[in-house]
Structure 1
Amino acid sequence: MRVEITDEVIPATEIVAELKAGADGAVCVFDGIVRDNTRGRKTLYLDYEAYREMALGQMRALAQEAVEKFGVRDVALVHRLGRLYVGETSVLVVVASAHRGAAFDACRWLIDTLKRTVPIWKKEQFADGAVWVDGEPFPEEIAVSRGAIADTGEPE
């Protein structure tokens, strides 16, 4: 598993290549990038901050839970902090598995759970102001027990 929080550019192509193995029939990638607008407002850049130690611990727990719950072989979770401009990768989720269904399901669950639970915050800077953004609502239809996260003090 590769779990990181970085202040540097995320080397997505390298991480995907490192995760692939002969037993894999699928590698699913979510490459979260900064878009140029939100709800009709022109985005200039995003600033990401985190409670780094807690975020890393929770990200490691999520990666391990994905392996156990979805039966995938390996996971990479990498999130960038600092100022990011349009087109830059803010978060990379890579899941390697023997089968595509498990890879897709685990990848979707990982990004949705990360955004909902991990203490990483973003401030969107627009041409006409700025706003701190909360995580997106978690789609209940793909919820999986968060037992591995319970060690962080959150209820199961």
Structure 2
Amino acid sequence: MDVIKLLGVREEALSVDEVLAAVTDSRAGGTDLFVGTVRELDENRPVTALEYEAHPMADRELRRVAETVAATIPVRALAAVHRVGHLRIGDIAVIAAASAEHRAEAFTACRKLIDDLKREVPIWKHQSFADGSTEWVGSP
């Protein structure tokens, strides 16, 4: 049984409902969901614009990360989606979710999924600040 239910790197707005529905499983006693949003301050600096860019291999790397989580933690379902393109303050940038028979595994799997996604999947954030400066985050 494939526990990886939904993965993607998308330009369109992300849906919490879609991701939650993807990991819903009647055999799961716990579901954990992480939603990452664009914040107006980063390290006390006002953010005015943000763009995410993804390497063409991002989808493949996202699948590899999810497969690793599924192979190491007993889950019923996993899902993760990341947005690319121009985002505004408050927009959802990433959603990760896991369901498992017990809450501990759901928490652990969701945490590992989002942490490994952010560390290993080649998606880069370009921030513009009110003072006119910019910075790339996560770029090689």
TM-score (norm 1): 0.82
Q: 1:71 and 1:117 mapped to 2: Cα distance?
A: 21
Query: CA offset at residue 79 of structure 1?
Result: 0.5
Gaps in structure 2 of 5+ consecutive residues: none
Aligned residues: percent identity? 37
Q: 1:113 and 1:3 mapped to 2: Cα distance?
A: 14
Q: 1:75 and 1:18 mapped to 2: Cα distance?
A: 8
Among 114, 118, 128, the residue aligned to 1:115: 118
Alignment of 1:5-84 (within 5 A): 5-52=9-56, 54-84=57-87
Total equivalences in the alignment: 134
C-alpha contact 1:34 1:45 (8 A) present in aligned 2: no
**Larger relative strand fraction:** 2
Q: 2:119 and 2:39 mapped to 1: Cα distance?
A: 20
Query: CA offset at residue 116 of structure 1?
Result: 1.0
C-alpha contact 2:31 2:97 (8 A) present in aligned 1: yes
> Per the alignment, do residues 110 and 18 of structure 1 end up closer, same or farther by CA in structure 2, a change over 3 Å counting?
closer
Query: CA offset at residue 14 of structure 1?
Result: 2.5
Alignment of 1:101-112 (within 5 A): 101-112=104-115
C-alpha contact 1:35 1:43 (8 A) present in aligned 2: yes
Amino acid at match of 1:94: A
Aligned partner of residue 5 in structure 1, secondary structure = strand
Q: 2:61 and 2:134 mapped to 1: Cα distance?
A: 28
Does 1:88 find its partner at 2:98?
Answer: no
TM-score (norm 2): 0.91
**Larger relative helix fraction:** 1
Query: CA offset at residue 17 of structure 1?
Result: 2.3
- The residue number in structure 2 matching 1:130 is 134
Moved over 2 A (4+): none
Q: 2:19 and 2:114 mapped to 1: Cα distance?
A: 16
C-alpha contact 2:124 2:138 (8 A) present in aligned 1: yes
